[in-house]
Amino acid sequence: MITEDEIVRDKAINSDGPEKKAASPVFWAAIMLLSGTCTTLFAKVQFDISAKGLDTCNVGDDDEYNCKFQKPWFSVLEMKCAMALCAPIFYGLGWGRPDLQSDPRGHSPSAEALKAVWLPALLDLLNTVLGNIGLVWVSSSIYQMTRGSVVIFSAILSVQWLGKTLRSFHYWSISFVVMAVILVGVAGIKQPDPASDDGDDNCTGNDCADDDGDSDASATEIIIGLLFILAAQVTTRLRDMKL
């Protein structure tokens, strides 16, 4: 049975009116790429900011109260607050609001729509939390490249749950992605351990950090961070399957 939501959606998609003039897909793809990269870089910069606090922490300088702001849950809160700013733009300025011709129901979400999106929204929140926890211990570059493992989990879940069949070129592509993720993980684990005494004795605290700000993480912490990022990609694929 065709629901009212499906009828309205098909009407909006098939509408050929002059007022419907979508932007170029390349433009939106560039915006998504730029915004995703900036989000990762800004979160990593925030995690590397040091300040004196009330609690002690393990840092490589004399002042044990000089701690880094490694609070991934606060970064998630910032992201969700920024997303919530879409509400006043949508309801106040009317940007993106459908007109009565394309959607006679208005712009208020229906109960069916809310029931359909609560689980994907929960999975998206879990994906953001897991990814930000992993970003605390790995560099932003390794974080971005490890996120490419979502292709692997997409293929596995598509075959197991959706019954899709992969062709030979799919397997070749996935095998290259697997090798790339393994190389990225090994590169992150093989970086110098700050706990060793082989480094420069003249550097202290944040001066010992490399450009990505991840040299203060041990190999064990980097492995844990990579596992959190991989778990985040699993939830990403589960979210997409629920949409």
Mean pLDDT of the chain: 77
Count how many residues are written for the chain.
Answer: 243
* Per-residue model confidence as pLDDT tens digits over 41-72: 999 999 888 877 777 776 555 556 778 888 88
The pLDDT, as a whole number, for residue 158 is 84
The pLDDT, as a whole number, for residue 194 is 55
Q: Are the C-beta atoms of 41 and 140 separated by less than 8 Å?
A: yes
The pLDDT, as a whole number, for residue 70 is 83
Does residue 14 have a pLDDT over 80? no
- Window from 100-114, 167-181, 211-225 with minimum mean pLDDT: 100-114
Q: Give Cβ neighbours of residue 207 (< 8 Å, ≥ 6 apart).
A: none
Q: Give Cβ neighbours of residue 46 (< 8 Å, ≥ 6 apart).
A: 69, 75
Structure-model confidence comparison of residues 104 and 179, the more confident one: 179
Q: Is 185 exposed, middle or buried (0-12, 13-18, 19+ CB in 10 A)?
A: buried
The pLDDT, as a whole number, for residue 80 is 87
The pLDDT, as a whole number, for residue 103 is 61
How many angstroms separate the Cα of 98 from the Cα of each of 2, 8, 13, 95, 103?
21, 11, 12, 9, 6
Kindly report the pTM of this predicted structure.
0.71
Does residue 140 have a pLDDT over 70? yes
The pLDDT, as a whole number, for residue 211 is 45
